Amino acid sequence: MNFIFLGPPGAGKGTLAKQAAQVYGIPHISTGDIFRENIKNQTELGKKVDAIIKSGGLVSDDITCELVKDRLSKPDTKNGYILDGFPRTIPQAEALESFAKIDAAVNFDIADEAVVERLGGRVCCKECGQMFHVKFNPPKQAGKCDKCGGELYTRDDDKTESIQNRLVVYRKSTAPLIDFYKNKGNLVDIDARPAPEAILAEFEKKFPKK
């Protein structure tokens, strides 16, 4: 199946997408991860989007759609995929329709206060991108990734001013996608408050593996 994961930053889309991708054997495609990888490698694209991402704003629709179109043309997407963080605007969703067929838009339902609390304590591995939370999911050793031993850091866009900006941007530009997909009849709500294992169990119940 071809999924898109919708929801505010910090709702747990990335965490579920990583787990579900393994369970269903389909790729997890995160536009945020692709941008961060480009920034890390200082590519032309990375240099273009660096400041926007740090501020919590959105990269242009043209750049983002081109990137996703290219990624979805790769053979590993043949049996399905999870798009995490794309589309984020109505024009992106409209563009997506011209090059992909989405089976389900999974909407991660969570209040703003919970998002602020989650993002506020989030740390990320510099090497492998694994996320931890200083309160809800702390690493075994402070500052060090459990998976690969890499150094943990706070993403620039997880700093307080950027979090507020990302929420404003989400409500204004991305939340209208909920109605967009509801009207198409393929919106599926998921309660994003429980622990990741419970969310994965709910997801598997809603989308039994074929």
Closer to ligand AMP by Cβ: residue 144 or 155:
155
- Looking at 18, 36, 118, 166, which residue is catalytic? 166
- Looking at 18, 36, 118, 122, which residue is catalytic? 122
Q: Which backbone phi and psi does 89 adopt, to 5 degrees?
A: -140, 160
Closer to ligand AMP by Cβ: residue 98 or 208:
98
> What minimum distance in Å lies between the beta carbon of 205 and ligand AMP?
25
Full DSSP string of 145-202: -TTT-PBEE--GGGSHHHHHHHHHHIIIIITHHHHHHHHHT-EEEEE-SS-HHHHHHH
Q: Establish whether 13 is a catalytic residue.
A: yes
Q: How far apart are CA 189 and CA 110, in angstroms?
A: 10
Q: Establish whether 171 is a catalytic residue.
A: no
29: amino acid identity, one letter: I
Residue ranges that bind ligand AMP, judged by CB under 6 A: 9, 30-32, 35, 52-53, 56-59, 64, 85-88, 92, 157, 166
- Looking at 13, 18, 36, 118, which residue is catalytic? 13
| Residues 186 and 1 sit within 8 Å (Cβ to Cβ) | no
Q: Establish whether 71 is a catalytic residue.
A: no
Q: Establish whether 122 is a catalytic residue.
A: yes
Active-site residue list: 13, 88, 122, 155, 166
